[in-house]
Amino acid sequence: MGASTMVVRRMVLFALVFLAIAAVTALGAAADEDHDDWTIIGSEVHSDEVITVSGQLSIDLGGSLHLSSCELRFTGGSPEDIRIQVRSGSLILDGLTTVIMENSGRMVMQGHMDIRGTVNFKHVDILVHSRGTLAVRGAALTLEGSWSTQSVNDPLMLTVEGGAYFAASTVNLVYAFVVSKGSMTIAESSVEASRDWGKEYDGLKERLRFEQGVATLTDSTFSDLFNGIMSRADLYASDCTFNRSDLRSFAPTWQPSLKAHVRQCEFI
């Protein structure tokens, strides 16, 4: 075989390798998505992607969006803007998934949201509408807002007007509140706050607040909630562990028959 033939073959081989690398690189770049408004009406599954939305994410007509180990990032906007609107259908988050709104914003859930894996919401006020449901199962969920004496304060708020179910999960509140006005069940889970700013925000101090409806707590641990747990709902707690100063129950004047059943619980 001549030297010139060997050179040609090597050049062809190098060219093929270069094209293969370029193709893989192109595929990797295509995995990241940018949207203005993003509307889901069918079924979509995304894994290991960074998805940027400058407008609103809407799930309609029974659509389904499943994000596994993704970062869903919202740019622009203001804290009053609804950036995620699930009118019907479902949003499923699992793996190592983060939902972040750079300028804060709101999420309205009128359908169903299912959370599994390790999921972090940053600067997202979440409303589970009276028609909506939330299921957190086998998850490590972090709700993270912000607080600074030098800037605009923006703790995160999870408000449940419909139904929420937490099972075999951990919930970490980082400058965040959870307010239930519907039905909330927490079973075999732990809830804690890893940051405290020691002041009221919009009239709220308690990190976990059962305003109305029914709250059922079973075989769970509630710790380091600082200003504690406020219950104005019908509360049923069994086999739970609380910080001694955390749990407080108050019957509002419009509901003098408030029920608070606490049995076989430990106060430390």
Return the minimum-mean-pLDDT range out of 60-64, 148-152, 157-161, 198-202. Answer: 148-152
| pLDDT number for residue 260 | 73
Higher pLDDT: 260 or 22? It is: 260
Out of 191-200, 207-216, 250-259, give the one with best mean pLDDT. 207-216
pTM of the model: 0.83
SS3 of 113-138: EEEEEEEEEEEEEEEECCCCEEEEEE
User: At a CB cut-off of 8 Å and minimum separation 6, what does 242 contact?
Assistant: 222, 223, 229, 265, 266, 267, 268
User: Residue 31 has what pLDDT?
Assistant: 41
Do residues 251 and 220 make contact, with C-beta atoms less than 8 angstroms apart? no
Q: Which of 87-96, 149-158, 191-200 has the highest mean pLDDT?
A: 87-96
**pLDDT tens-place string over residues 87-100:** 999 999 999 999 99
- In the three-class reduction of DSSP (H, G, I as helix; E, B as strand; rest coil), residue 5 is classed as helix
Confidence of residue 196 (pLDDT cuts 50, 70, 90): low
Report the mean per-residue pLDDT for the chain: 84
pLDDT at 4 exceeding the cut of 60: no
Instruction: Give 76 or 227, the one with higher predicted confidence.
Output: 76
Give the mean pLDDT of 236-255: 72
For the beta carbon of residue 53, count every other beta carbon within 10 angstroms: 21
pLDDT confidence of residue 106: 96
- pLDDT of residue 147 exceeding 60, the answer is yes
Q: Using a pLDDT cut of 70, give the percent of the chain over it.
A: 76
- Per-residue pLDDT at 187: 98
> Is pLDDT of 13 > 80?
no
Does 197 have pLDDT greater than 80? no
Which comes out higher in pLDDT, residue 27 or 47?
47
> For 51-60, what is the mean pLDDT?
97
What is the average per-residue pLDDT within 22-32? 45
Per-residue model confidence (pLDDT) at position 201? 57
